[in-house]
Amino acid sequence: CSSDLITIDSGGQTIPVYRAQPKGGKNLPVVLVVSEIFGVHAHIADIARRFAKQGYLALAPDLYVRQGDPSTYTSIPDLIKELVSKIPDAQVMQDLDACCDWAAKHGGDKNRVAITGFCWGGRITWLYAAHNPSIKAGVAWYGKLVNDKNALQPQTATEIAPKLTVPVLGLYGGKDSGIPLDTVESMKVALSKGRSASEFVVYPDSGHAFHADYRPSYVAADARDACQRCLDWMKKYGV
């Protein structure tokens, strides 16, 4: 595969995007890769390359570029308070729309687009699937389903669930202290009021970030299983 850092215009703002794709590929299925709170670092770039090796045009945008650089923070609470909490959901939706537009003009098939995201990006995956019903599938890895609402983040995933039409697969850890299982159950109830055919897989022995192979939270067997389920889900829905 080939990979590089490109830039995409989003409403007059230049967004750096890590791109990976098969060499010489045309009319490729597209996957948007949305990062954890730590931004587009080596692990997220590696995930994009893994998708490229499966035949995808993978785009991992720097959705924090207006607010700051997450790599400069050493404290997770400071990172969340000073940077992540200041990123408007509407801005993220706009930037992901811009990625879809770019992909359609640069070798991607606009009729075969999926989104996947991790942690912070998992919540964004649910929201974007509601925002852009023309995408075909989503895979949300341990994204918050209930959050404190404010002017910048006015909705929760659970609130948008009944109106969702895009099928989203939720991959969650049973020991995730930040995402209680009762919120997963609430999300299932909310999804049952709609017709998106979304599903959950909960790994009982995993905690948060079980896919992050550069962190102590990594659980290899569950990560491998979840990766295969992710690919199968996208293919099932035509991406």
- Residue the block writes with tokens 């703002």: 13
Grouping H, G, I as helix, E, B as strand and the rest as coil, residue 176 is coil
Cα 210 to Cα 226: distance, rounded to the nearest angstrom: 10
Nearest to 39 by CA among 5, 79, 1: 79
Q: Are strands 168-173 and 137-141 parallel, antiparallel or unpaired?
A: parallel
- Per annotation, catalytic residue among 1, 95, 131, 176: 176
Helices (H), 86-151: 89-105, 120-131
Q: Is 119 a catalytic residue?
A: yes
173 phi/psi in degrees, rounded to 5: -105, 135
Q: Is 148 a catalytic residue?
A: no
Rounded to a whole number of angstroms, the distance between the first and last alpha carbons of the chain is: 18
- Per annotation, catalytic residue among 99, 208, 222, 230: 208
Q: Is 176 a catalytic residue?
A: yes
- Per annotation, catalytic residue among 1, 100, 119, 230: 119
The answer to whether 189 touches 219, Cβ cutoff 8 Å, is: no
Q: What is the DSSP string of 21-62?
A: E-TT--SEEEEEEE--TT-S-HHHHHHHHHHHHTT-EEEEE-
Q: Give the tokens for residue 97.
A: 């729309």
Enzyme catalytic residues: 119, 176, 208
